[in-house]
Amino acid sequence: TPNILIIEDDKDTAEMLRAYFEAHDYKAASVAWGQDALRLVKNDPLPDLILLDIRLPDMNGYEVCKQLRSQRRTSEIPIIFLTERREPVDKYSGLELGAVDYITKPFDIQELVLRVRNALEHSKYQTLVNPITGLSNEQVMDDKLRSLMARQNWALMLIGVGGLDAFADRYGFVARDDVLRALSLVLSNSSAEGHPDPDATFVGQMSENNFVIIVEASRARDLQDRLITRLKQAVNYFYPAKERGVPPQQRPALNFMLGALTDQDGPFADYTTLKSAALSSMKTI
């Protein structure tokens, strides 16, 4: 059940919103002061969405939003401003701080509920993809692995990248994230190449350093050879431009591992056994 926090100093508005959302099967709580809201989100459970007024007795909503966005624990909570301020500059200020929507009073309550629902659905989707690469994360990948238990003619490939910590120490975390994005593109493009059906290939992320590809077993050998070639060709371009001419032994080394299994390597007791077997099959390329 979605949990909504209403930060609103008008008691009538706060009570109306709380009662309406509870009638639509949401959990809802309200506070009138910004500091009360900031104290509340330090405890579990976190709200799934925040409705935030700009004019509060102790601090303005912009400052509340800024503080929420600055903390790792609360930085991803969807925030919708709900305010009397109608000037474009006010809306721009709210959106620049990372709010997902800006609604002016008086508002249509049914429209508000729809916007809240859409924001929650978008937020739920965002939790299913890696924020750096945009690939499906471990939760989605585990569902895919479970589905393989009842299928035949599949191949599971794991691709890992090593040396990222030393790489980040020298070039920074932005450069490391660029490596992960570039690697995800190499894997996605190589997997889709020569196949007309994009749904026939799944590319996901098991962890920050390990990627997963699921294809038909008949495509596994060609894809494995293609990946080895592409990764060896691309690795130099994963480095910042000024470092590409530096001898490899004088810069942090990035190395790649690859493992592959098919349904013929089973049977596997469950998807966790399959995952462990795939990790054990990985070798440096």
pLDDT digits (tens, 9 = 90+) for 148-175: 888 889 999 999 999 999 999 999 988 9
**pLDDT score of 197:** 66
Q: Which tens digits make up the pLDDT trace of 24-77?
A: 889 999 999 999 999 999 887 889 999 999 999 999 999 999 999 888 788 889
- pLDDT tens digits for 105-115? 888 888 898 99
Q: Work out the angle at residue 81's Cα, subtended by the Cα atoms of residues 99 and 105, and round it to the nearest 5 degrees.
A: 150
The mean pLDDT value of the chain amounts to 89
Q: From CA 254, how far away is CA 73, in angstroms rounded?
A: 31
Is residue 88 very low, low, confident or very high in pLDDT (cuts 50, 70, 90)? confident
Average pLDDT over residues 197-215: 85
Residue 125 has pLDDT above 70, yes or no: no
Strand order in the sheet with 49-52: 27-31, 3-7, 49-52, 79-83, 101-104
